Structure 1
Amino acid sequence: MALKSFVEVKSDSHFSIHNLPYGIFKHAGGSITTSRPGVAIGDYVLDLSEIHSAGLFDGPLLSNSDCFHQLLTELRLEIEVLSVASEVLVERSIIFAVAYMMKSNLNKFLELGKPAWKEARATLQKLLSSAEPSLQKNASLREKALLPMVQVEMLLPVAIGDYTDFFSSMHHAKNCGTIFRGPENPINPNWYHLPIAYHGRASSIVISGTDIVRPRGQGYPTGNSPPYFGPSRKLDFELEMAAVVGPGNDLGKPIDVNEAADHIFGVVLLNDWSARDIQAWEYVPLGPFLGKSFGTTISPWIVTLDALEPFACDAPNQIPKPLPYLAENISKNYDISLEVRVKPAGEEDSFTVTRSNFNHLYWTLTQQLTHHTINGCNLRPGDLLGTGTISGPEPESYGCLLELTWNGTKELPLGKTTRRFLEDGDEVIFSGCCKGNGYNVGFGTCSGKIVPSSP
């Protein structure tokens, strides 16, 4: 029998019972607004704290875990410890704990690893199925646990300790190399031997819907003049996805490439906004810095690798063969259709500028993670590994304006207007979805609007 949810899921919804992506949400359900973990199902969010409190996570790995409401436990402990001192401290402890609760995240769940993730997925699919009465027939619990998505605010799903951005699309690497170095030798020889990356800035990663302030910085000088300084004139998006790390590794102990999937909880959409003029002037010899660190946007829902497994496909044939530590027994990507729309400032409509696919990546997620640790670097739960811009072979599948306008030498039509790079007021919307047999496994959207540079 086909798996079906008792919660209505529209045919075009990204959040079928086959998906159940995880996120952190805030719902004004009382006098104090707290953030909580949830999964998306249709047009609803299922509150995992309520499900756990009802005793419905009854498996051996989750029944006694506080991973879905650990901050409530910490609140009680804080009050108990400080109440011994004075009533004033109790009041202060409550204020502190409530403030801390606003920082709820999924890190503790991620740290439990793949067996716990599978147990949670099996439990949730059972609870939400049309054949299971425990939630479906419990009106009181349904009212508390199933919240309309329009009534919640999505927050960053994890505490991101570190962020690394890779450069794993051969088409993107070739186009960038051609633009900046010419067509004779667009891709440096090392690119075919290792997943190139740089360390990004975790503090400026924001949730979808957050405005992005146009960055200020230096650009290439003209003639004998000093370098330009001011608002970026070449602001760009980058169509990426990112792996969310689950269990990490000890310092000095690399992760085997054939075990790397056990260290990846899931995937999000990622827009690594780029100031191309700032980047071009600063990147030699140490690479990206201020041209990237001003803002990176991620989608709120983490789609698990288990949900993506039906859409696994062969990764590209890698020539030359990778070194043994990067040679996978099974090398796979995922068939995830990706789209970028731009809504020009002052316009009501948005326009599709790119259609690409995750399967265009040359280096796989597992190769990226393994290479990251091969020198002994330790990853931690919640770390984010961006794929780099995902461009396809055709112009309409290029993943950034740098490629779509060939560094501003061409105009990109957007309805009645055009763009070479982003202008203030422009909104960029990413979406990603896998098409199953009568259902979708999608990521929702990842959006951000450009606002003028700070004075």
Structure 2
Amino acid sequence: MKTFSIPASAKSWIDIPADSPFPIQNIPFGLADIKGQGETMVAAIGPYALDLLALSEAGLIDDSEFPVLESFIDMDREKLSYLRQVVFNLLRHDHDALRTREKLQKRAMIPLEKANLQVPIPPMAYVDFYSGIHHARNVGQMFRPQGDPLLPNYRWVPIGYNGRANTVVASGTPIIRPKGQIKAADAEAPEWGPCRELDFELEMGFYVGSGVDMGRRIPTTQAEEHILGLVIVNDWSARDVQRWEYQPLGPFLAKSFATSVSPWIVTLDALEPFRIEGMAQDPEPLPYLRQKGNPHFDVQLEVSIKTGSMKTPQVICRSNMSNLYWSIAQQLAHQTSNGTPVELGDLYATGTISGETPDSFGSLLELTWKGERPLTMAETNERRTFLHDGDTVIMSAYAQGEGYRIGFGEVRGTIKPAL
């Protein structure tokens, strides 16, 4: 599939701050709920969300080529790539079609803080993988200290589970502390009540842009043709509930209460300059999972916490997508390897992306090592093992180019008391 990469030298007629996550080289897409109008696809450029439906109604986007701009329902990767090229041409420094129409600018260029951004595509299906090998190794060391931290199948199979699609929520949605069965190590029986070990997990996710029918498979060589783009994912986790319930069938209520996603779908075209080979896979994967070239991406990840008493968030984790063992192409290929159908809008999360060093661990479970090494908030001297009510978790991601960065924006959520 032909990609559309925007050169680093490209400029826009819009004044874009040098440190903006949304330069003209990016142009990610989202969904906004505009007051008095309803939902519309938007594109991020500098400090604005560009209303694509308004541009279509003004004749700047051909409605015969893009008849549906109220959602992503009419989009696959190729069509979204073409739409990105159309938007780029409208934003180029030497293009007058939008630059000279101030009245249309006032309607179509919405300040980001007023855009009322939604979940980009409310998924019908959601799968969470376990592809961060350092996270898997850390968890193994905690709970199987006498054995191999990685289970025998880890380097053979992209492990995952089916999550709860209707609890995928937009950035900024409050996260209500879940309740569940909890059993203390010295207790004879479990009790039911509010989770005491509420955690985040730093992940990335990808949306499917075009699916396959039941019985068909997507090979790794074609998997990226089916991927619309990437988002940041926070897989909220109730660790004490998870510890009691996960055997023998894996995560259930400990994971199903909320998953937060960032509002902007960053296209693979925008990430093309940031491809990397990724870590070596040993043993060599089975034939249906083998891949060539540079299937991974150099995307920097960051997590901050702001307690209810703090004025400024504190960075507690810096990691990178290069820490994934299984690529997104391998994840999608494995999902369909048994003939599972996939559809437009299906959401797949990578699993927690921890690095090798303690400051790059992508969950509080790891950062505090099961709560044994509390984090201290420098501003207030508060200590955290797991999340308290009123804590806000903020995740961000970007790929750094020469003189620009391809940003994903952020995904955030504030913990509210259990009901």
Q: What TM-score results when the alignment is normalised by the length of structure 1?
A: 0.88
Query: How many Å separate the matches in 2 of 1:132 and 1:182?
Result: 62
Describe how 1:273-292 pairs up with structure 2 within 5 A: 273-292=236-255
Q: Residue 21 of structure 1 corresponds to which residue in structure 2?
A: 28
Query: Contact 1:23–1:302 (CA<8 Å) still a contact in 2?
Result: yes
1:151 is displaced (CA, Å) by 2.1
User: Which of 270, 273, 276 lines up with 1:313 in the alignment?
Assistant: 276
Supply the RMSD in Å over aligned alpha carbons: 1.3
Q: Residue 448 of structure 1 corresponds to which residue in structure 2?
A: 413
Query: Contact 1:107–1:159 (CA<8 Å) still a contact in 2?
Result: no
Describe how 1:372-387 pairs up with structure 2 within 5 A: 372-387=335-350
2:143 maps to 1:180: yes
Task: Please give the secondary structure, in 2, of the residue aligned with 1:269.
Answer: strand
1:198 is displaced (CA, Å) by 0.3
Task: Please give the secondary structure, in 2, of the residue aligned with 1:153.
Answer: coil
Q: Residue 392 of structure 1 corresponds to which residue in structure 2?
A: 355
2:375 maps to 1:412: yes
1:222 is displaced (CA, Å) by 4.5
Q: Residue 397 of structure 2 corresponds to which residue in structure 1?
A: 432
Task: Please give the secondary structure, in 2, of the residue aligned with 1:135.
Answer: coil
Which amino acid is the alignment partner of residue 52 of structure 2?
L
Describe how 1:188-337 pairs up with structure 2 within 5 A: 188-337=151-300
1:229 is displaced (CA, Å) by 1.6
Task: Please give the secondary structure, in 2, of the residue aligned with 1:147.
Answer: strand
1:328/1:222 CA distance change after superposition, 3 Å: closer
Query: How many Å separate the matches in 1 of 2:288 and 2:399?
Result: 30
Describe how 1:72-111 pairs up with structure 2 within 5 A: 105-109=71-75
Query: Contact 1:345–1:423 (CA<8 Å) still a contact in 2?
Result: no
Task: Please give the secondary structure, in 2, of the residue aligned with 1:340.
Answer: strand
Structure 2: runs of 5 or more not aligned: 1-6
Q: What TM-score results when the alignment is normalised by the length of structure 2?
A: 0.95
Whose helix proportion is higher, 1 or 2? 1
1:379/1:424 CA distance change after superposition, 3 Å: same
Instruction: Encode CA deviations 1:158-200: one digit per residue, 9 max, x unaligned.
Output: 1200000000011000000111111531111111001000000
Query: How many Å separate the matches in 2 of 1:149 and 1:276?
Result: 35
2:27 maps to 1:50: no
Query: How many Å separate the matches in 1 of 2:399 and 2:64?
Result: 32
User: Which of 117, 122, 140 lines up with 1:159 in the alignment?
Assistant: 122
Instruction: Encode CA deviations 1:386-442: one digit per residue, 9 max, x unaligned.
Output: 000000000100000010111111111112111011011110000111111111110
Query: Contact 2:129–2:350 (CA<8 Å) still a contact in 1?
Result: yes
Task: Please give the secondary structure, in 2, of the residue aligned with 1:229.
Answer: strand
Query: How many Å separate the matches in 2 of 1:310 and 1:402?
Result: 34
Task: Please give the secondary structure, in 2, of the residue aligned with 1:265.
Answer: strand
User: Which of 6, 24, 34 lines up with 2:13 in the alignment?
Assistant: 6
Query: Contact 2:49–2:110 (CA<8 Å) still a contact in 1?
Result: yes
Instruction: Encode CA deviations 1:353-397: one digit per residue, 9 max, x unaligned.
Output: 100001110100000000000000011111100000000000100
1:270 is displaced (CA, Å) by 0.5
Q: Residue 133 of structure 1 corresponds to which residue in structure 2?
A: 96
Describe how 1:62-73 pairs up with structure 2 within 5 A: 63-69=64-70
Query: Contact 2:307–2:392 (CA<8 Å) still a contact in 1?
Result: yes
Task: Please give the secondary structure, in 1, of the residue aligned with 2:141.
Answer: helix
User: Which of 119, 122, 144 lines up with 2:85 in the alignment?
Assistant: 122
Which amino acid is the alignment partner of residue 27 of structure 1?
I
2:3 maps to 1:40: no
1:24 is displaced (CA, Å) by 0.7
1:52 is displaced (CA, Å) by 1.8
1:225 is displaced (CA, Å) by 2.9
Query: Contact 1:14–1:444 (CA<8 Å) still a contact in 2?
Result: yes
The range that moved more, 195-204 or 343-352, is 343-352
Task: Please give the secondary structure, in 2, of the residue aligned with 1:106.
Answer: coil
Query: How many Å separate the matches in 2 of 1:243 and 1:281?
Result: 30
Query: How many Å separate the matches in 2 of 1:396 and 1:402?
Result: 13
Which amino acid is the alignment partner of residue 362 of structure 1?
Y
Query: Contact 1:38–1:45 (CA<8 Å) still a contact in 2?
Result: yes
1:26 is displaced (CA, Å) by 2.1
1:45 is displaced (CA, Å) by 0.9
1:201 is displaced (CA, Å) by 0.2
1:435/1:224 CA distance change after superposition, 3 Å: closer
Query: Contact 2:122–2:168 (CA<8 Å) still a contact in 1?
Result: no
1:133/1:406 CA distance change after superposition, 3 Å: same
1:150 is displaced (CA, Å) by 2.4
Instruction: Encode CA deviations 1:62-90: one digit per residue, 9 max, x unaligned.
Output: 63432214xxxxxxxxxxxxxxxxxxxxx
Query: How many Å separate the matches in 2 of 1:320 and 1:136?
Result: 55
Query: How many Å separate the matches in 2 of 1:365 and 1:250?
Result: 20
Which amino acid is the alignment partner of residue 416 of structure 2?
V
Instruction: Encode CA deviations 1:189-241: one digit per residue, 9 max, x unaligned.
Output: 11100100000001111000011000100112443532022111110000001
Task: Please give the secondary structure, in 1, of the residue aligned with 2:154.
Answer: helix
Q: Residue 75 of structure 1 corresponds to which residue in structure 2?
A: none
Q: Residue 3 of structure 2 corresponds to which residue in structure 1?
A: none
Task: Please give the secondary structure, in 2, of the residue aligned with 1:297.
Answer: strand
Query: Greater Rg, structure 1 or structure 2?
Result: 1
Structure 1: runs of 5 or more not aligned: 70-104
